[in-house]
Structure 1
Amino acid sequence: MKRIYLLAVLVMAVTLWSCSSTKKLQKGTLKGNWTVTSARIEGVTGNAQLKTTAFDDVPVECFNGSQWSLPNNGFGTYNITSAGNGCMAGERRIVWSVRTINGIDYFNFKKMDGVKNSKAHQVEDGYSLEVTSVGDGAFTARSPIAFEGRTIYIVYNFVKQ
């Protein structure tokens, strides 16, 4: 009896593992309008107050409440809605995509302000965020940064509008 139970558990575990390992983030999953409900730094211990700029743009805190438009054609925007404290409110044009590498899903984008859409391939610098969770109407992505010889993360929580 124990062998049958053990065999059933083993078969179920292998089935669940094989199904989850073949999943791949699809571009359509992130398509739509999103709001960043929180942008924060993870991995700093103690009372350290780390001030950093995200995406070579504005301080991390400025991304709280930002609006992201990710249409299926890949040409989207993000809009910084808060002003003051180093936040430069306004819309930024981006070209975005998703990619799965070694089973890890990434949300990638390049800033396109001042660049024609047809010249997107000439923009070399971009940003790659690991998508750590995707659920009904929400996803979480993180961006690594080096800090005191180790990696910490800027974590963004997105909610679909």
Structure 2
Amino acid sequence: MKKMIWLFSIVILISSCSVSKDARGKRNLLSGTWTLNNVSFEGNNGNVKALLFNDVEDICLEGSQWFFRDNNSTGKYTISPSTFCTGGDRYIRWSVVEREENYNSQLQFKFIDEKYKDISGGVGYRLNIQNLTEYAMTLKSNVMVEGTPINVVYEFTKN
């Protein structure tokens, strides 16, 4: 009887830690290297300057390379150095979050160091997955600009 209870407990533990089939599929599609081609803003008519991910301005993210490794949920994005942008690698730990029906899945990430240790104090970011195929991805996040909510749209192509 004890063996049966123990086995049942393991099965429940494994099933509770598992990722949904949809999330696994999105993780597999995300795996690899992507180029962030365009950052745009919905819901604002003027010029917008935004500090994204508490890291760089939107212009610095355009052309950045993003790498997602699905076997250990780590990755990085690389900013090219320029007059306006501090270049270099930003290491991340990421996952796909499944939400209730009628809501988009989300890509969430937080910053880590090269040794996979959290450097963000547990603070992370979530972006709604609007579109994800083998070759293209569109993510959206909500930000406040001068007290008005707007959507930041990130358009990627897979390398």
TM-score, normalization: structure 1?
Answer: 0.75
User: Which residue of structure 2 aligns with residue 33 of structure 1?
Assistant: 33
Contact 1:94/1:109 (<8 A) preserved? yes
User: Which residue of structure 2 aligns with residue 83 of structure 1?
Assistant: 82
Is there any run of 5+ residues in structure 2 with no aligned partner, and where? 1-19
What one-letter code is carried by the residue in structure 2 that aligns with 1:39? V
Contact 1:36/1:64 (<8 A) preserved? yes
* Pairing of 1:33-112 with structure 2 (within 5 A): 33-45=33-45, 48-72=46-70, 73-85=72-84, 87-103=85-101, 104-112=104-112
Contact 1:129/1:142 (<8 A) preserved? yes
User: Which residue of structure 2 aligns with residue 126 of structure 1?
Assistant: 124
The one-character-per-residue Cα deviations of 1:88-128 (angstroms, maximum 9, x if unpaired) are: 111111111111111321011101137x42x4498410010
SS of aligned partner of 2:22: coil
Contact 1:110/1:123 (<8 A) preserved? no
Q: Which runs of 4+ in 1 moved over 4 A?
A: none
* Deviation of the 1:154 alpha carbon: 1.1
Larger Rg: 1
What one-letter code is carried by the residue in structure 2 that aligns with 1:69? F
For the structure 1 residues 69 and 34, does the alpha-carbon distance in structure 2 shift closer, same or farther, using more than 3 Å as the test? same
For the structure 1 residues 122 and 58, does the alpha-carbon distance in structure 2 shift closer, same or farther, using more than 3 Å as the test? closer
Name the % identity: 33
Aligned partners of 2:78 and 2:35: how far apart in 1?
A: 9
Is there any run of 5+ residues in structure 1 with no aligned partner, and where? 1-21
* Deviation of the 1:81 alpha carbon: 1.6
Aligned partners of 1:150 and 1:105: how far apart in 2?
A: 24
What one-letter code is carried by the residue in structure 2 that aligns with 1:92? R
